Every structure is written in structure tokens, then in C-alpha cells.
């Protein structure tokens, strides 16, 4: 089943100039970018986004980190996008992530772990609408752009 999922390149990866390398991995794995923007999350927005973790020891530092610098947010589309993206992202902590995954390659630790990927189709729906309105999401076809005449 074709699915949409939410992908965030976190402040650590933005500030370490790893955006291009990460986007390249996403595209080489066959994901279609149907929405993308750079945003600075306020503390309030980051608290809301991670509300399910409220009360956990890592919640406050996570909110501080996610609001510290800009993030890049994308909607990615592919067959079984949620599961497939989680696979290439890897486990939360790079120490536990499989070889070749984005977190194994780029993450510093379990908090500074460079990317976020929705954990279920239900979360994906909530998270996509958290960042994007319907008219910011584009369905486009590969190589189907109009040819402009240069007469």
C-alpha cells in the first residue's frame, strides 16, 4: 500500500551540514518528496509534537534540542513508507542502530539522532497535519514536467 510518512531532519544534522547526504539516501531508496520546508519549532510546538513523552526523563532536553535550531520537515511517499523509512533510519540510539542506517552513520547519541520518522500510519497522519496543510503537499509524476519552448 502506498503511504505517506513524516520525516524530520533534526537541528544537529542541519547544523552539521548533513542535509544533502540524508536527502540523497532518501531519494536513492525510492521515496518521493511530496512536501518539504525549513522551520524553527518553538518550545511550545516541540512540546506538543512530543506530548506522548511528557513526564519521561528525556522529554525536556528533547524539547530544548528540537527548538534550538531549524529543522527540515518532509512528507515522503512510497509503498509501505512508514515501515520502510523506519528501516533505513535505524534504532533511536546509534549504538543500537544497524550498520548502514542513517542514525548509525550520522547520529551522535540517542537524543542527537539526526532524524525523526513516524512510527505508525496513525502517527504519520497526525504528524503530517501538524506541519503541513493540504495545499502544501504535492503529488507529482517522475519526469512529467512540461517542456518550455525556447523559440
116: contact with ligand AMP by CB under 6 A = yes
The one segment of 34-42, 72-80, 106-114, 126-134 that binds ligand AMP by CB under 6 A: 106-114
Residue from 15, 30, 37, 58 in contact with ligand AMP (CB under 6 A) = 58
User: Using an 8 Å Cβ cutoff, are 106 and 97 in contact?
Assistant: no
Q: Closest separation between CB of residue 7 and ligand AMP, Å?
A: 12
116 catalytic residue (yes or no): yes
Beta strands in the chain (DSSP E): 2-9, 32-39, 71-79, 115-117
Question: Do strands 115-117 and 2-9 pair parallel, antiparallel, or not at all (unpaired)?
Answer: antiparallel
Asked if residue 111 binds ligand AMP (CB under 6 A), the reply is: yes
Q: Does 110 bind ligand AMP (CB under 6 A)?
A: yes
Decide: helix, strand or coil at residue 45.
Answer: helix
Contact (Cβ atoms closer than 8 angstroms) between residue 89 and residue 83: no
Rule CB under 6 A: say whether 113 interacts with ligand AMP. Answer: yes
Query: Which residues, other chains included, contact 82 with Cβ-Cβ below 8 Å and sequence gap of 6+?
Result: 3, 5, 117, 118, 119, 120, 121, 124
**Interacting span for ligand AMP (CB under 6 A) from 13-21, 73-81, 110-118, 139-147:** 110-118
Nearer to ligand AMP, 35 or 117 (CB): 117
Q: Of 32, 31, 38, 36, whose CA–CA distance to 14 is shortest? A: 38
For residue 52, the minimal CB distance to ligand AMP (Å) is 7
Residues that bind ligand AMP (CB under 6 A): 58, 62, 92, 110-111, 113, 116
Amino acid at each position: 500500500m502506498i503511504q505517506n510518512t513524516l520525516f524530520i531532519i533534526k537541528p544537529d544534522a542541519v547544523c552539521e551540514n548533513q542535509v544533502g547526504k540524508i536527502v540523497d539516501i532518501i531519494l536513492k531508496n525510492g521515496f518521493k518528496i511530496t512536501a518539504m520546508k525549513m522551520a524553527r519549532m518553538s518550545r511550545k510546538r516541540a512540546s506538543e509534537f512530543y506530548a506522548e513523552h511528557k513526564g519521561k526523563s528525556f522529554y525536556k532536553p528533547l524539547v530544548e534540542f528540537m527548538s534550538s535550531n531549524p529543522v527540515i520537515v518532509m512528507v515522503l511517499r512510497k509503498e509501505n513508507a512508514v515501515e520502510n523509512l523506519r528501516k533505513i533510519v535505524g534504532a533511536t540510539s546509534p549504538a543500537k542502530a544497524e550498520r548502514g542506517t542513517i542514525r548509525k552513520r550520522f547520529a551522535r547519541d540517542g537524543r542527537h539522532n539526526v532524524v525523526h520518522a513516524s512510527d505508525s500510519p496513525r502517527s504519520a497522519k497526525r504528524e503530517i497535519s501538524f506541519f503541513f496543510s493540504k495545499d502544501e503537499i504535492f503529488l507529482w509524476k517522475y519526469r512529467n514536467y512540461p517542456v518550455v519552448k525556447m523559440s
